[in-house]
A and B are shown apart, each in its own frame.
Chain A
Amino acid sequence: MSSIISSLPFDPTLTYINGEWVGSSDSQTSSIENPATGQVLATVSESTASDLDAAVQAAHEAFYSGAWVNTYSGAQRRDALLALATSIEDNRQALEHLESLNTGKPIRDVRVELDDTIDLFRHFAGYADKVEGRHIAAQTNAGLEGYTVKVPVGVVGFINAFNYPLCLLAWKVAPALAAGCTVVFKPGPQTPLTTLFFAHLLHSTGRFPAGVFNVVLGGVAVGQALVDHDLVDKIGFTGSVATGKHVIRSTASTARVRATSVELGGKSPGVVMPDADLQRTAELVISGCMSNTGMNCNALTRLWVHRSIYAEFLPLLKAAAEKIVLGVPQSEDTEMGPLIDRRQMDRVLEYIRIGIEEDKAQLLTGDGNHRVGQEGYWVRPTVFQNVDPQARIATEEIFGPVLSVLQPFDSLDDIIEIERKSEFGLAAGIFTRNHSDIARFTRRMRCGTIWVNNYNALYSYLPFGGFRNSGFGRELGYESFDGYLATKAIIDDITY
């Protein structure tokens, strides 16, 4: 067992429910791996249906008792979240190290994620005391005053993905708590450790009443129990399209209807126009695809390159991909880590095989041996060229370091027509200086985020989310905060 695990300030074999650290009610456990080595990193508990029920009951009680949203005004929730942000900041090195061990992320990347996590809690803390309604005097009937009041939605159940364990926790939990909701949180089964550390920090601030934030651990069974629980008012889910659809169906089949917000997959396109700065663009594209080892729902995974620059551009892409440094994640020089687990690695290798053998696509990088080493789940950055836009590797989400450079194109408007109706609609990128091309692309593309001459830049104050099979609902920005609120209208006859 790693020394960091044994020196954690909390017991990772327990989880945090109703303000207490408890084990699984039937002593179930699961092993957590270090994907860089394939070795077992830690053992954690696995929640049962009854543990899940206890967590939801606690969140429900904390919500309706007013522990979080009546007695605690917006200003006090704000201060609690600010204290939590400071606590995360004070403990960031330990969190970074733990996240890097659990996920295989390069330490340099994790540092940026910690910056984002801290910023997110501070940013959403600022919304907590600014929940406003609108007051509208009646148009025709003098004496009837109407106004709206925004109130928190209630108990929110979160099912998180494995690709940004702590950062995505912040995306979800910061606005939900700021709005006055209470939370039951299930991290991805492979990546619970920083979530547990977070719970420890939250508890240690002493500013979050018992039941306001709870963690349950496990896979499909626990997730299903959370989605099915009648006392949950809203479900927030990040994960695959298939599971997302299942979650949506489930929320309609319980005794009570509830809201959902789902952030699903993507197959985000990039477009390189003739006047792009080719070297800079090649680097942006590769980073846009390979960041987080491609395990990024908004990764740039299908690339359109204009015919007139195709021959000149591809060698630049190849060079940028091949110079990425793989290595021990905790090393400062490492630029890319492993995939999260064996299953993911097998899936990615299978797609590479599909690309070569079924799609008959031509490799730009590599020679067919794409796994690196025998331990851990390492796959090298892989780029295909001249890919048919309908090929499986060009249309299905791989969730790994694989880029399909499509056949050359001639007309931007034709590409826009294809991409704006594609199955997914999470993000897109364009590389050009031409103002008119940028205007058409940004206005006509139908996806949640459009990057112009950059990629993957996200901000706490700009909303993120999908169209079509990439999901609905928004995270980040005011729109996400508003998603944790419900509106009441009060109509009052003051002449009475």
Chain B
Amino acid sequence: DVHIQNYINGEWAPPTNGLFLDKYNPATGQVILQIPDSASADVDNAVKAVKAAFPLWSKTPVSERAAILLRIADLIDENSSILGTFESLDQGKPVFSAIHFEMPMCAASFRQFAKLITDGGIKESESRLESMITPTSITQPKASITESVTQHIAAGVAGLITPWNFPLPMVCFKIAPCIAAGSTCVVKPTELSSITSFLLSHILHAAGVPKGVVNIIFGSGLGAGEPLVKHKDVKLISFTGGSATGARIGALASGQFKRVSLELGGKNPAVFFDDCNIDHAVTTGIRGAYKNQGEICLCASRQYVQHGIYEKFVEMFRQKVRSDIFVGNPLDPKTFYGPVISQQHMDKVLGYIRLAQEEGATVEFLVNPSDTAVKGVSSDGRLTIEGHEGGYFIAPTLITNIKQSSRVMQEEIFGPVVCILPFGTEEEAVELANDTDYGLSASVWTLDHGKLDRVMRQINAGLVWGNNWLNIDQDMPFGGMGCSGNCRENGKYSLEFYTEVKTLSRHVFD
């Protein structure tokens, strides 16, 4: 029985305008709760509180900040079942994955940044003693000796805007480095999955995060997100979401010289050479296509398989999806993936499926014959699931014989739809992989050492995997090229975003 309210300055309150948005359970299509439809007034209150909290928080010793981060992590762990269950209900993802993989990722993020700041991560800076500055002008005729040192300080008030595909992890990945660095933030979580962010506000409060350091306001992108981005006192914006919204945020923020971090979409290629381990490849290709309903910025939505194994690969893919993948109720432990997030999003995904059909591509719905919950499949891939007839379920969709230039191959679909095409040479594979406006991630599959290294190095993506997928080292830089984004996160890269650097340069007397 969850009643979502804004968390501002250590207190919970409804939006000042008294307006609420309906939130639908994606598994049933029914309204399950309402979330505040916050507007400028709430944003103003939140930013005011966060700005007031900044001076003290930024000077709080790192050991105290780290202790609070560790308490947050512990509370997340203690509540992982409840959090994971609500996440599943809210978002549609399978409950097992939410509880056992995604909630621990949230706790780990707070622990990682607690450790980074106490291990000297952000406090470390450069000092260069005695550099000789050569004469530059009439007023400075002699060479002088200068001692320089850098000072790292918290950057200020941040606005954090998060997506609906991994609701709580995304919020945690942003809050943790922000407050670890001594900055403060207003968070505007996605309106499509707000429950766990609301529960997090209670965890932050219980962990002793001082009032005003983290404020969480709920609402839509236009209603609450935009005023936050435009607010003159918000110095930094960190956004994860779709490229179109990212473009708008970037445009709004640059005019005010804000520091902006954009983590956007992807149309990630997977390249499978003849000499890959085909069993491992097919299994991972399936995961890459359908995990989390295909709602992952890193999903392997276009797969290229070398001619020599193409037919075998696709056939193995088909059979394995049909035998292993169950689509249905997210609370059912058998379910591999659940409904997509909303009616609107489902319509968008089905639209791409119809487009592929219209273009004459081969479109297959790989429904598991022993999945008794599936009562029907529409012509464009929508599934009717027993007991969940209003839910937004889409069949595991496989598209072949489609053109590389098709919109289906070039635009991000963000659903359980994968395209698989053959290729010939190594050069062709690289060309096909790079033929995209995006550049977030890619995977390369071959057991040949030299080829693996050569191909990985030539693909223009921020994160390239070799013989694996979705293995993310939280200390290695993460981010995209092109339309996928403009920054790098993780570890010290995230801390750097929330940190300002100064150089102090002192004259040295002989």
Query: Does A129 belong to the interface (CB within 8 Å)?
Result: yes
Query: Does B142 belong to the interface (CB within 8 Å)?
Result: no
**A-chain residues with CB within 8 Å of residue B486 when the two chains form the complex:** none
A132 touches B449 (CB 8 A): no
Interface string of A17-47 (1 = CB under 8 A from B): 0000000000000000000000000000000
**A-chain residues with CB within 8 Å of residue B149 when the two chains form the complex:** 135, 147
Query: Does B450 belong to the interface (CB within 8 Å)?
Result: yes
Instruction: With both chains docked as a complex, state the minimum distance between the C-beta of B128 and any C-beta of chain A, in angstroms.
Output: 5
A73: contacting residue among B118, B126, B132, B452, CB under 8 A: B132
B449: contacting residue among A74, A129, A136, A435, CB under 8 A: A435
A135 touches B130 (CB 8 A): no
**A74 CA to B145 CA, complexed, in Å:** 12
**A131 CA to B126 CA, complexed, in Å:** 10
Query: Does B202 belong to the interface (CB within 8 Å)?
Result: no
**A-chain residues with CB within 8 Å of residue B128 when the two chains form the complex:** 131-133
Interface hits, A74-91 → B, CB 8 Å? 74-76
**A135 CA to B150 CA, complexed, in Å:** 7
Query: Does B59 belong to the interface (CB within 8 Å)?
Result: yes
B125 touches A435 (CB 8 A): no
Query: Does A360 belong to the interface (CB within 8 Å)?
Result: no
**B-chain residues with CB within 8 Å of residue A136 when the two chains form the complex:** 120, 123-125
A134 touches B448 (CB 8 A): no
A148 touches B449 (CB 8 A): no
Query: Does A7 belong to the interface (CB within 8 Å)?
Result: no
Query: Does A149 belong to the interface (CB within 8 Å)?
Result: yes
**B-chain residues with CB within 8 Å of residue A452 when the two chains form the complex:** 449
Interface hits, B433-471 → A, CB 8 Å? 446-450, 452, 467
**A315 CA to B410 CA, complexed, in Å:** 54
**A76 CA to B149 CA, complexed, in Å:** 21
Interface residues on A, range: 20 to 34
A139: contacting residue among B63, B127, B129, B150, CB under 8 A: B63
**B-chain residues with CB within 8 Å of residue A131 when the two chains form the complex:** 128
**A60 CA to B119 CA, complexed, in Å:** 39
**A-chain residues with CB within 8 Å of residue B446 when the two chains form the complex:** 435
B131 touches A74 (CB 8 A): yes
Interface string of B39-71 (1 = CB under 8 A from A): 000000000000000000001011100000000
Interface string of A349-389 (1 = CB under 8 A from B): 00000000000000000000000000000000000000000
Instruction: With both chains docked as a complex, state the minimum distance between the C-beta of B292 and any C-beta of chain A, in angstroms.
Output: 29
Q: A73-B130, A129-B131 in contact; A135/B450 too (CB < 8 A)? A: no
Q: A139-B63, A139-B118, A435-B452 in contact; A134/B130 too (CB < 8 A)? A: no
**A135 CA to B152 CA, complexed, in Å:** 10
Query: Does A142 belong to the interface (CB within 8 Å)?
Result: yes
Query: Does A137 belong to the interface (CB within 8 Å)?
Result: yes
**B-chain residues with CB within 8 Å of residue A6 when the two chains form the complex:** none
**A314 CA to B132 CA, complexed, in Å:** 61
**B-chain residues with CB within 8 Å of residue A433 when the two chains form the complex:** 448-450
Query: Does A5 belong to the interface (CB within 8 Å)?
Result: no
Query: Does A3 belong to the interface (CB within 8 Å)?
Result: no
Q: A147-B149, A436-B447 in contact; A76/B132 too (CB < 8 A)? A: yes
Query: Does A453 belong to the interface (CB within 8 Å)?
Result: yes
**A-chain residues with CB within 8 Å of residue B467 when the two chains form the complex:** 435
Interface hits, A109-162 → B, CB 8 Å? 129, 131-137, 139-140, 142, 147-149
Query: Does A49 belong to the interface (CB within 8 Å)?
Result: no
**B-chain residues with CB within 8 Å of residue A436 when the two chains form the complex:** 447
A134 touches B125 (CB 8 A): yes
B449 touches A438 (CB 8 A): yes
B61 touches A139 (CB 8 A): yes
A148 touches B450 (CB 8 A): no
**B-chain residues with CB within 8 Å of residue A435 when the two chains form the complex:** 446-449, 452, 467
Which chain A residue lies CB-closest to B132?
A73
B131 touches A73 (CB 8 A): yes
**A148 CA to B150 CA, complexed, in Å:** 13
**B-chain residues with CB within 8 Å of residue A149 when the two chains form the complex:** 127, 129
Query: Does A253 belong to the interface (CB within 8 Å)?
Result: no
B124: contacting residue among A129, A135, A142, A432, CB under 8 A: A135
**A223 CA to B11 CA, complexed, in Å:** 77
Q: A434-B449, A438-B449 in contact; A139/B123 too (CB < 8 A)? A: yes
Instruction: With both chains docked as a complex, state the minimum distance between the C-beta of A315 and any C-beta of chain B, in angstroms.
Output: 26
**B-chain residues with CB within 8 Å of residue A142 when the two chains form the complex:** 59, 61
Which chain A residue lies CB-closest to B149?
A135
A133 touches B127 (CB 8 A): yes
Interface hits, B108-130 → A, CB 8 Å? 118, 120, 123-130
Instruction: With both chains docked as a complex, state the minimum distance between the C-beta of A284 and any C-beta of chain B, in angstroms.
Output: 15
Q: A132-B127, A433-B448 in contact; A75/B118 too (CB < 8 A)? A: no
Instruction: With both chains docked as a complex, state the minimum distance between the C-beta of B205 and any C-beta of chain A, in angstroms.
Output: 25
B63 touches A453 (CB 8 A): no
Interface hits, A429-468 → B, CB 8 Å? 432-436, 438, 452-453
Instruction: With both chains docked as a complex, state the minimum distance between the C-beta of A6 and any C-beta of chain B, in angstroms.
Output: 44
Interface string of B87-114 (1 = CB under 8 A from A): 0000000000000000000000000000
**A74 CA to B151 CA, complexed, in Å:** 23
Interface hits, A232-277 → B, CB 8 Å? none
**A434 CA to B145 CA, complexed, in Å:** 55
**A-chain residues with CB within 8 Å of residue B120 when the two chains form the complex:** 136
A147 touches B59 (CB 8 A): no
**B-chain residues with CB within 8 Å of residue A129 when the two chains form the complex:** 131
B131 touches A132 (CB 8 A): no
**B-chain residues with CB within 8 Å of residue A148 when the two chains form the complex:** 127
**B-chain residues with CB within 8 Å of residue A140 when the two chains form the complex:** 61, 63
**A-chain residues with CB within 8 Å of residue B125 when the two chains form the complex:** 134-136
Which chain A residue lies CB-closest to B118?
A139
Q: Which of B61, B123, B127, B467 neighbours the largest number of chain A CB atoms within 10 Å of its CB?
A: B127
Q: A73-B130, A73-B132, A76-B132 in contact; A137/B123 too (CB < 8 A)? A: yes
Instruction: With both chains docked as a complex, state the minimum distance between the C-beta of A82 and any C-beta of chain B, in angstroms.
Output: 16
B61 touches A132 (CB 8 A): no
**B-chain residues with CB within 8 Å of residue A147 when the two chains form the complex:** 127, 149
B126: contacting residue among A76, A135, A137, CB under 8 A: A135
**A-chain residues with CB within 8 Å of residue B449 when the two chains form the complex:** 432-435, 438, 452
**A-chain residues with CB within 8 Å of residue B131 when the two chains form the complex:** 73-75, 129
**A139 CA to B129 CA, complexed, in Å:** 23
B130 touches A453 (CB 8 A): no
Interface hits, B387-419 → A, CB 8 Å? none
Which chain B residue lies CB-closest to A437?
B449
B124 touches A75 (CB 8 A): no
Which chain A residue lies CB-closest to B126?
A132
Which chain A residue lies CB-closest to B120?
A136
Which chain A residue lies CB-closest to B275?
A433
**B-chain residues with CB within 8 Å of residue A432 when the two chains form the complex:** 449
Instruction: With both chains docked as a complex, state the minimum distance between the C-beta of A445 and any C-beta of chain B, in angstroms.
Output: 16
**A140 CA to B66 CA, complexed, in Å:** 12
**A-chain residues with CB within 8 Å of residue B129 when the two chains form the complex:** 133, 149
**A-chain residues with CB within 8 Å of residue B130 when the two chains form the complex:** 73
Which chain A residue lies CB-closest to B448?
A433
Q: A139-B118, A433-B449, A436-B447 in contact; A134/B59 too (CB < 8 A)? A: no
Instruction: With both chains docked as a complex, state the minimum distance between the C-beta of B55 and any C-beta of chain A, in angstroms.
Output: 14
A134 touches B452 (CB 8 A): no
**A13 CA to B279 CA, complexed, in Å:** 73
**A432 CA to B447 CA, complexed, in Å:** 11
**A206 CA to B62 CA, complexed, in Å:** 52
Q: Knowing that A136-B125, A140-B63, A433-B448 are A-B contacts, what are 10 other residue pairs whose CB atoms are under 8 Å apart, sorted by A's residue number?
A: A73-B130, A73-B145, A75-B132, A76-B132, A132-B127, A135-B149, A139-B118, A149-B127, A435-B467, A453-B450
19 contacts between A and B (CB under 8 A): A73-B145, A75-B132, A132-B126, A133-B128, A135-B125, A135-B127, A135-B150, A136-B120, A136-B124, A139-B118, A140-B61, A142-B59, A148-B127, A149-B129, A433-B448, A433-B449, A434-B447, A435-B449, A436-B447
8 tightest Cβ-Cβ pairs between the two chains A and B: A435-B449, A73-B132, A135-B127, A133-B127, A147-B127, A135-B125, A135-B149, A438-B449
A interface residues (Cβ-Cβ under 8 A, vs B) = 73-76, 129, 131-137, 139-140, 142, 147-149, 432-436, 438, 452-453
